Amino acid sequence: MTVMTPQQWETELWTPGRPLATNDFGRGVFRHPRPKARGMRYVQHSPDALLRHLVIDVDHPDTALRAFDKGCGLPPPSWTAQGSTGFGHVGFALSGPVCRTTNARQAPLKLAALVQEGLRRGLDGDPAYRGQLTKNPLHHDWEVIWGTDEPWRLVDLAVHLGDLMPKSLPKKRALHAGLGRNVALFDALRGWAYPRRCDYNDQQEWEEVALAVAVNINTEFDFPLSLTEVGHTSRSVARWTWRNIKLSLSQYQSAVGRRGGRAGQGEAKARRQILPQQVRIHTTEQLALFTREDALMPATYPERRIMTARQAAKDLGVSARTIQRHVAEPREAFLNRTRARAALAAELREQGLPWREVGDRLGISAGAAKEAVRRQQQKASSR
């Protein structure tokens, strides 16, 4: 195993542009330029928007021993930093950042929360640790032991944890810790907001009510989140629901009912009756017109389309698969046309024409022309 170096941690893995840092929590935590923050005892290990490290706070006098003990079944850490008492922080650098913004996908964040909880349980870490600032592994006050220089993928950490990896986050909000609190707050708040969005006509009022509900949910945690984190989550949920939810709960349920059973069939039939009646398709001699009923007939219409199945499906209000099933060029004709195009592309290329001109003559992109020739040559060599 190659060992990480302080230079690697500083230049490659410590990414905040203007991190929070302090020498004494009693005097407050403020943002500083990186050169100044580098010399402080506690620093922000990840930017606000991107999680680059999973850090566990271990309140035991054998932090390093716990972290590097292979018998515990834990993945090797990237670094540990502990004080004279042996209490310290254990850090696991991530190969790819986990987004924590309002537009972030919840699946990676949930996985990060599960992995963090598994690491915390394995190290018997402090559940109250907020995970924002860490003991600065570049500071001389701490005894630092560097671990593996390979950043971890979340999936690899989950696999390495084995039985220590929790299958799900705690059901009771009070038991959530670390990133699990953010996930639990988001899920609870959106569950409250979805059916109530249309009860409000003023966006500012809606955001204020969502914030109040989020603050109330946060009080149920044994170790509540900061008001700043609660505000970010509430604004994310409130603004998304304001933009995307336009139906009340009863209207939504009615719409769902119409999509299923007889009501759904009747709605689909009525929808097809008002769909565009014509779609253009391509033949070798002319552009023919065929009606919507022809397109949806059980028998396949053996002609090449001049538009994609997705575009035709959007115009007709049916699925792309329906278009492909009923209106499609015969397979043999398609293969013959593809071979002829590839042969012509190869011939034009042999004449010294650049790929862009080859593509222009064939009506395709330069990349498509190059790929057609490559596939033809590959098939010829395999015979």
Distance of CA 261 to the CA centre of its chain: 34
Q: Mind listing the pLDDT tens digit for each residue in 226-276? A: 778 788 888 888 998 888 887 666 666 676 666 655 444 544 444 444 333
pTM, rounded to two decimals: 0.52
Q: Mind listing the pLDDT tens digit for each residue in 345-376? A: 888 888 888 888 888 888 888 888 888 888 88
Q: Mind listing the pLDDT tens digit for each residue in 193-223? A: 888 888 788 888 888 888 888 887 877 776 6
Hey, what amino acid is at 375? R
- Rounded Cα distance between 69 and 114, Å, is 21
- Rounded Cα distance between 250 and 362, Å, is 54
- Judged against a pLDDT cut of 70, whether residue 114 lies above it is answered with yes
- Rounded Cα distance between 206 and 319, Å, is 37
Structure tokens of 264?
């759904």
Q: What is the CATH number of domain 169-274?
A: 1.10.340.50
- Mean model confidence pLDDT for the chain: 79
> For the chain, what are the domain ranges?
6-165, 169-274, 275-329, 332-382
